Amino acid sequence: RNRPEGKVLETVGVFEVPKQNGKYETGQLFLHSVFGYRGVVLFPWQARLYDRDVASAAPEKAENPAGHGSKEVKGKTHTYYQVLIDARDCPHISQRSQTEAVTFLANHDDSRALYAIPGLDYVSHEDILPYTSTDQVPIQHELFERFLLYDQTKAPPFVARETLRAWQEKNHPWLELSDVHRETTENIRVTVIPFYMGMREAQNSHVYWWRYCIRLENLDSDVVQLRERHWRIFSLSGTLETVRGRGVVGREPVLSKEQPAFQYSSHVSLQASSGHMWGTFRFERPDGSHFDVRIPPFSLESNKDEKTPPSGLHW
């Protein structure tokens, strides 16, 4: 659904039956089932999915920075994929999903400097609609031929080059997702994926940075619009910060049956090596009434074995 307009059918071949178990391989072409873009799988990640919609029937916990009154939730292993987005589809999805969501800390003195790699995304296993193509370069992205090599004897016929393996190895601490948090309120599902980006020294103190990707999805047919965000950020140093504001990343997205999802990423820094975030999004209905959607609490943890900053696109 919501496939971007354009000459998609020129490169799309016969759809394969989606895998119910296992995972897709490097080089698998796909359509994103929610945002509709063409893409290719670079490699899979195994994550722990904490889904509060299927939380156990344990009694409510006392409110604390980690639980915030939510139910006991056990993580379940789930497959996500690092993928490349076809550049031809980026203009069609830019209002629904950031195409520069994968960011890094710049490797110099300015601890606030961030840079992005366009056209990278994280895709859940169930969002993959695989297809085949006879085109040797079916995805237009500056990294496609740098990362993948066409080999007609393979299935899928695109295999990882050494540059892809080296890039994954060098950058996996800043790319690998480990925890995914999900919760639904009044048919609005919020999914959060936090990433530790690294530590920088600033004014004789350590500043720890995280990126978090958020997907909002309307599971109902009613039209709603995101109006406000309300964050609570707890740091291990003992501070508790409240952040309120209009919309997210300068937008107030409308979620409808035709365009049910919106995805974005943002950043947070702490002067401690760990913390927690949680909060709410306030949505407005067409009649002017409002309701709050819970953002599932998630941990901000640093990598204890950090040694070198990310290498980005330096080979």
pLDDT-based confidence at residue 7 (cuts at 50, 70, 90): very low
pLDDT the model gives residue 57: 42
Which whole number is the average pLDDT over 85-95? 94
CATH for 96: 2.60.40.1470
Q: In terms of C-beta distances under 8 Å and separation of at least 24 residues, what long-range contacts does 310-313 make, across chains too? A: 310/104, 310/105, 310/107, 310/170, 310/171, 310/173, 310/174, 310/197, 310/198, 311/167, 311/170, 311/171, 312/104, 312/107, 312/115, 312/117, 312/171, 313/117, 313/167
Q: What is the mean pLDDT of the chain?
A: 85
Task: Return d(Cα 184, Cα 11) in angstroms, integer.
Answer: 36
What is the band of 98 on the pLDDT scale with cuts at 50, 70, 90? confident
- CA dist., res. 178 & res. 161, Å (int): 25
CA angle (191 as vertex; 299, 78 as ends), nearest 5: 85
Scan for tokens 């670079």, then name that residue: 42
Q: Is 6 part of a structural domain of the chain?
A: no
Q: How far apart are CA 28 and CA 41, in angstroms?
A: 5
Q: Domain total for the chain?
A: 1
Is there a cis peptide before residue 156, judged by omega within 30 degrees of 0?
A: yes
pLDDT in tens, 188-231: 999 999 999 988 887 788 899 999 999 999 999 999 999 999 99
Tokens encoding 155: 């299935």
pLDDT of 20: 54
- Which pLDDT belongs to residue 61? 44
Convert the pLDDT of each residue in 135-148 to its tens digit: 999 999 999 999 99
pLDDT at residue 14, rounded to an integer: 54
- How far apart (Å, rounded) are the C-alpha atoms in residues 223 and 155? 42
Domain encompassing residue 226 = 24-55+75-299
Tell whether 287 is covered by a domain. yes
The token duo for 82 is 């690092």
Average pLDDT over residues 286-293: 96
Among 60-64, 153-157, 280-284, where is mean pLDDT lowest? 60-64
Residue 5 lies in a domain: no
- Note whether residue 65 is domain-resident: no
Torsion (CA) 49, 50, 56, 57 in degrees, nearest 10? -150
pLDDT grade for 314, boundaries at 50, 70 and 90: very low
According to DSSP, the β-strands at 179-185 and 38-51 are parallel
Does 82 score more than 90 pLDDT?
A: yes
Given this model, what pLDDT does residue 174 score?
83
C-alpha Rg value of the chain to the nearest Å: 20
Q: Is residue 11 part of a domain?
A: no
10 in a domain, yes or no? no
Has residue 243 got a pLDDT over 70?
yes
Task: Give the residue carrying structure tokens 């039209």.
Answer: 223
Q: Which residues pair with 97 in a beta bridge?
A: 263
